[in-house]
A and B are shown apart, each in its own frame.
Chain A
Amino acid sequence: MTTLHGEIPGAHGHEHHDGSYLERKGGMVSTIIDWATTIDHKKIGVMYLVAVLTMFFIGGVAAMLIRYELFEPVRIQATGDNVGQISGTALANLFGQKDISVAKADNIYNRVMTLHGAVMVFMFIVPGIPASLGNFLLPLMLGAKDVAFPRLNLASWYVYVFGSIFGILAIVMGGVDTGWTFYTPYSSSHADPGHWRVVFMILAAFILGFSSIFTGLNFIVTVHKLRAPGLGWFDLPLFVWAIYSTSIIQVLATPVIGITLLLLVFERLFHVGIFDPALGGDPVLFQHFFWFYSHPVVYVMILPGMGIISETIAVHSRKQIFGYKAIAFSSISIAAISFLVWGHHLFVSEGELVATIFSALTFLVAIPTAVKVFNWIGTLYKGSIQINTPMLYTLFFLFTFSIGGLTGLPLGALATDLHLHDSYFVVAHFHYVMMGGTVIAFLAGIHHWWPKIFGRMYNERWAMIACVLVFIGFNTTFFTQFFLGTRGMPRRYASYPDQYQLLHQISSIGAAILLIGFLLHLAVFIGSLFAGKKAPANPWGGLTFEWEADSPPTTHNFHHEPLATHGPYAFDDVVPPHCDPKDYPIADPLPAGSKRH
């Protein structure tokens, strides 16, 4: 894609030759006002990045607390008569709660566990990639000046913050212990009866749903209406395909959780009885409603990650992506099938017919996912592969995501799931997919586009060291949990029988390594912001539109309206924009008349 110099007929044309979008407007106060009222998708993307990473930090602290508590099981010291002193209540000690009952000590763990789940799912990983990187990159990749509805975009950020405040409020008021899944009747009639904080946490998820719908709706319209001239559907970068599929799921699934959570609030406040068996309702109906949203949303989490990997693997191995259409269509088919597999969360609660159908459909969704992995590995073939942080994370993703995918098989198969359901095997599996998949892809993407977003390079060596630490820490933390699960450790346990202690301790040590890796990343990012080398416009030799813009881009993204003249991954034939042909030698031209691939 090259920039067309001069005006495009029909496009109305005052082109501003303006400065970077990061340029400060006057003093501190006016800069803050400028950011708070901006409708620039890039600033909103950065604001989202800061917000979701803050939530990732809060959720991460909760995760560390979980691993801290699980280092030792809760026990009573048998001192002669039956009067016991409790040991192993690390969290209670940490919060200064001495001499409390086991029930109260376990309750603290249950609240931290819920906090981790709710924050990570609703406030970090669902909005995560689409709202931050997606917001920043989607218009750039399409060659547009902004998303279709810029004010709706800003509104979505404020709704996100408003919803998160509700969630934080629930935490500050003492937290909730319902689990992030809010299963009834526990959440409706048993958890903290009469307390508003449970309602606040549910409302937080409800409000965040609006933010999700606004973003998704905005992106769909943007992809439909604001593609640059010449940019056909099959010229779109695969990241755009992924975000487009994600947006469809967000728009179609979120309303269902909306009504479900609303009914749950009514249920809690007025005991309307829809989900409460004591009043004639059906708790399994809640599970159906809940997973009808929450399973598709698993793909809201992972599809953007897959999109990032499609970009990074192509750019850093300078290779036409293998099977472009297969990857694009697999995104769409994953989005479609994702609506049909929710029942696999209910294999141990529903009858045979439901379970059988959903087991079969679950295996169906495995196929497009596997096809994507094969295509990525096929892309490496005969490439020109550069190992740097984004590429290292991409390979890291292939490793962990493959494990995540393969360990889904015994969970999708009915006979094995009866044993593994609600065990640590499930915990390990979804952390391999969500963290080993989405978070790792997010990190690949942040490093890949960091120079574009902030206009500065990061320290490659230290970032790669941090990546290796995260790799070691992640696998130590979660691989052990597969064995915990198959050996019989149920999930959401504050304590455990002795035979699981060694594996839990290894897992906790892994979490500490993971923490060090993330802190090192944070240091590298801060270092880059304050002392990083100025980034060139196209540091990796990418061919998509965003690399034609300045680093950081100007307020209006491009100096001239871009025009698509080649595919997004035509590395063989095109010298990347702003790059020297000596550094990026292209392939020999094909003999005249030969068939192009």
Chain B
Amino acid sequence: MNLIPTTLADGFWHWLWFNEKAKSSAGVATIGDELFMYIFWLSVVWFVFLMGLTFYFVVKYRRKPGQKLVRSPAHHTPLEIAWTVVPTLFLVYIFFKGFWGYADALVAPANAELINLKAQKWAWRMTYPNGAESPLSTRFTYTDAQGNQLTSAQDAPIFVVPAGKPVQLRMSSMDVIHSFWVPDFRAKFDIFPNRYTAYWFQADEVGDHPIYCAEYCGDLHSEMYAILRVLPEAEYRSTIDGWAIPWDQGPVPVGKVLYKTKGCAACHTVDGTPNTGPTWSHIWGEEHEFEGGGKAVVDANYIRESILVPAAKIRKGFPNQMVSFQGQLNDRELDALIAYIESLGANPPAPGTGHSETGAETEPAGSN
């Protein structure tokens, strides 16, 4: 049902407000855009009428010296009832229309692809039905007026979803409240620690859509981007199959996948540059000094503790920022990460430091 003529709901006016059409065919997006344009034109009509009347009165009844006042009614009951009831009718309509769109947003179709979404300060993680996670990431790049190449400050992960199929996200947070917003899908929902919330959409066209965090969550709130990439369903399947963790290839390739998919890459680089956290390149065997004194050599136990109890030893010059991965990584995954860090090179480089995974390293750390 069209609320208003297409010329007013689409084209220039729609571009002015939204830039592009909604990219989800879920009810909240289609009803939302339609309702927004309807409210917009309703507001324009009321506003122009009221302000026109005000302007007309101000000009017509401006004060002229010595002119006597003219009596006019101090109230007019039928008029007052009319201007109470008529707006009420419009509001009732807007309320119901808004309710339909919202009801649609809350209940995902039964055939929806269920994907888990975890939010943490300040990264997103999607876990696909086969357990895979996306290793892809990108930075927005720009060229400023002086011709300098600029990029956004953090790597934004790229998540893939199938086109033409409803997708439901089961969302939870690892620390504070976040909110998942894809403006192109015209909907957002908050994400809480210790609780699941849901979100669904259906993107019919192939394309990339930015994801923003819409609930203030601290320092890098404004850098908490991700890209949602809509792929044809067959390509989506093959992509996530390709991301499944290569358990059969030994710990180092597994660690490399985990580094990208578990959010480590948000704060740690593997190329030697410090980020929010220290780099992983050539730290094996290095002696680290800690905030508040003390030092230790980087080995398997130190890395394990740093992942599970990050606050126990804070390397000098870095903030106490990391959340615990206790319960997020199992022992096999920890082993893989440790092996991956070891594979990135030792400092000082010395032959024979290539430890193999021994039983001692897989014992519970007994901390916490």
Contact = CB atoms under 8 A, between A and B. Distances in A.
A3 interface: no
Interface string B165-199: 00000000001110101011011111011110100
B269 interface: yes
A79 B23 CA distance: 35
B101 A414 contact: yes
A504 to B, nearest CB: 12
A486 B18 contact: yes
Contact of B183 (A366, A414, A487): A487
Interface string A358-381: 011001001100110111011011
A162 interface: no
Given A380-B61, A413-B94, A586 B69 contact: yes
Contact of A367 (B19, B88, B215, B320): B88
Contacts of B247: none
A406 B43 contact: yes
Contacts of A371: 80, 83-84
B183 A415 contact: no
B70 A359 contact: no
Contacts of B177: 183, 185-186, 283, 349
A87 interface: yes
Contact of B94 (A103, A363, A407, A486): A363
B51 interface: yes
B188 A75 contact: no
A585 B69 contact: yes
Nearest to A183: B177
Contacts of B72: 319-320, 381-382
Contact of B221 (A319, A488, A493): A493
Nearest to A413: B98
Contacts of B175: 185, 190
Interface in A165-180: 177, 179
Contact of B47 (A103, A406, A419): A406
Given A76-B153, A395-B54, A487-B18, A106 B67 contact: no
Nearest to B274: A101
B46 to A, nearest CB: 7
B142 interface: yes
A18 B320 CA distance: 66
B83 to A, nearest CB: 5
Interface in A546-584: 571-572, 582-583
Contact of B63 (A283, A375, A384, A490): A384
A514 B292 CA distance: 48
B17 A498 contact: no
Interface stretch (A135-143, A152-160, A321-329): A321-329
Interface stretch (B144-152, B251-259, B326-334, B338-346): B144-152
A475 interface: no
Given A102-B220, A277-B195, A370-B87, A413 B61 contact: no
Interface string B66-109: 11111111111001100110011001101101111111111000
A524 interface: no
Nearest to A567: B74
A177 B74 CA distance: 51
A29 interface: no
A421 B214 contact: yes
B69 A367 contact: no
Among A349, A371, A414, chain B packs the most CB atoms within 10 A around the CB of: A414
A102 B154 contact: yes
A277 B191 CA distance: 12
Contact of B193 (A277, A360, A407): A277
Contact of A348 (B88, B183, B190): B190
Interface residues of A, number: 112
B183 A283 contact: no
Given A106-B222, A384-B61, A399 B51 contact: yes
A377 B80 contact: no
B62 A374 contact: no
B217 interface: yes
B63 A318 contact: yes
A434 B253 CA distance: 56
B50 interface: yes
A497 B276 contact: no
Interface in B211-246: 212-223, 225
A395 to B, nearest CB: 7
A40 B300 CA distance: 73
Interface string A81-98: 111101100000000000
By DSSP majority rule, is chain B's interface helix, strand, loop, or mixed? mixed
B61 A406 contact: no
B182 to A, nearest CB: 9
Nearest to B193: A277
A355 B275 CA distance: 41
A382 B63 CA distance: 10
A490 B214 contact: yes
Contacts of A185: 175-177, 193
Contacts of B216: 110, 179, 183, 186, 491-492
Contacts of A481: none
B71 A78 contact: no
Contact of B218 (A191, A352, A366, A597): A191
B157 interface: no
Given A323-B75, A406-B46, A495 B222 contact: yes
A409 B47 CA distance: 13
B22 to A, nearest CB: 9
A208 to B, nearest CB: 22
Given A183-B177, A380-B61, A407-B43, A597 B74 contact: yes
Contact of B150 (A76, A102, A278, A417): A76
Contacts of A75: 142, 144, 150-153
A77 B221 contact: no
Interface string A335-363: 00000000000011101100110011001
A370 B27 CA distance: 30
Contacts of B75: 322-326, 597
B203 interface: no
Contacts of B50: 373-374, 377, 398, 402
Nearest to B70: A382
B63 A588 contact: no
Given A106-B222, A106-B223, A348-B189, A380 B151 contact: no
A590 interface: yes
A413 B97 contact: yes
Given A359-B99, A418-B189, A323 B69 contact: no
Interface string A395-406: 100110011001
A264 to B, nearest CB: 15
A352 B105 CA distance: 10
Contacts of A77: 148-150
Given A371-B83, A398-B51, A415-B27, 9 more contacts: A78-B150, A186-B216, A363-B95, A382-B70, A419-B32, A421-B214, A488-B19, A493-B222, A494-B222
Q: Which 9 A-B pairs have the closest CB atoms?
A: A415-B101, A488-B183, A413-B98, A414-B102, A493-B222, A277-B194, A75-B150, A380-B57, A406-B43
6 contacts: A87-B148, A101-B276, A359-B98, A374-B83, A377-B53, A418-B102
